[in-house]
Amino acid sequence: MSGKEMKENRVKRREIISSLPYVNHVPAALQISRMMAGSSILSVLGDLKHFRGADGKDGKDGAPGPVGPPGPRGLPGTSAPTQGGSVYTRWGRTMCGNNSELLYRGFMSGTKYQNSGGGVNYQCLPLDPEFSKSFTGNWQGTAIAGVEYETKNYGVFDGAAHDQNVPCARCYTKERPAVVMVPAMRSCAEGWSMEYEGYLMSEYYRSTSPSTFECVDKSPEYIFGEESNTDGSGIYFVGIECSQGGQCPPYVGDTPLTCVVCSR
Ligand SMILES: [Ca+2]
């Protein structure tokens, strides 16, 4: 044992002895000096190392430590890819715009104009329907008819359009989830894509069966073989009523309102 180690040992003994008052009162008769007692306790403490509680279960948990400071801010993540699109109906055409995907094409249909009930929203019925149940009794349900262009005298569509039936296409915008139809406009706001432009149309104003306003393509197609007049359901141009809050000018009365369908 080196001199330094011996010195450390002595210091250690004194510390142990002074921390244990029991040792200070060892009877002199036992002839055990403080130094000897220190040596013995050191020896006992060394032995105690080999007699801990099983798996430390006899000990008690210490008090929790203080909460550490917050960690550094993480690196920014990559932006999520653009996902999702929307679906709109292109009335009067059988194809979608260049940037949209055709879901199906069909024909425009609506509640018969003489009816006073039924649905108001036009339906784009597919050309290859799938029926479930058959029925042979007296039909008491709602009837839906093909829609005809009622555009004879306006000079907007070509003269052959009148009484022709209206096709439709349902289009998926893929990565442009917002779609809006803007009446009385022919252009889209900056950053928006034009799906198509056309004219605002609806059922006849004196029909007992009101309909929604829809944007019908400015270059309409017709359904082959349906050129005759059947007067089931029709679409008419829509004009502004200047005398009743129609904001004329800039609006012009008795003029077909335009429309545009935009996506983003
Ligand atoms: Ca027809």
In the reported structure, the alpha carbon of residue 48 is separated from the centroid of ligand 1 by a whole-number distance in angstroms of 106
What are 190's two structure tokens? 């900056």
Residues 6+ apart with CB under 8 A from 144: 109, 110, 111, 112, 118, 119, 123, 125, 233
What are 249's two structure tokens? 């000018």
Q: Name the residue ranges covered by the structural domains of the chain.
A: 87-127+142-263
In the reported structure, the alpha carbon of residue 87 is separated from the centroid of ligand 1 by a whole-number distance in angstroms of 27
pLDDT for residue 129 is more than 60: yes
In the reported structure, the alpha carbon of residue 164 is separated from the centroid of ligand 1 by a whole-number distance in angstroms of 4
What are 46's two structure tokens? 């060394």
More confident of the two residues 59 and 82: 59
pTM summary value: 0.69
Note the pLDDT of residue 56. 53
| Confidence label for 48 from pLDDT (cuts 50, 70 and 90) | very low
CB burial readout 64-81, b (16+ within 10 A) else e:
eeeeeeeeeeeeeeeeee
- pLDDT tens figures, 214-250: 999 999 999 999 999 998 999 999 999 999 999 999 9
Residues, beta carbon < 5 Å, ion ligand 1: 148, 163, 165, 226
Residues 6+ apart with CB under 8 A from 59: 53
- Amino acid letter at 85? G
Q: How far apart are CA 103 and CA 155, in angstroms?
A: 32
How many CB atoms within 10 Å of residue 207? 19
In the reported structure, the alpha carbon of residue 256 is separated from the centroid of ligand 1 by a whole-number distance in angstroms of 22
In the reported structure, the alpha carbon of residue 228 is separated from the centroid of ligand 1 by a whole-number distance in angstroms of 4
| Confidence label for 98 from pLDDT (cuts 50, 70 and 90) | confident
| DSSP structural state of residue 42 | H
Mean pLDDT of 179-197: 97
In the reported structure, the alpha carbon of residue 229 is separated from the centroid of ligand 1 by a whole-number distance in angstroms of 4
Note the pLDDT of residue 188. 98
Note the pLDDT of residue 77. 76
What are 91's two structure tokens? 């009335």
Q: How far apart are CA 146 and CA 164, in angstroms?
A: 10
Please state, for a pLDDT cut of 70, what percent of the chain lies above it: 78
In the reported structure, the alpha carbon of residue 148 is separated from the centroid of ligand 1 by a whole-number distance in angstroms of 5
In the reported structure, the alpha carbon of residue 149 is separated from the centroid of ligand 1 by a whole-number distance in angstroms of 8
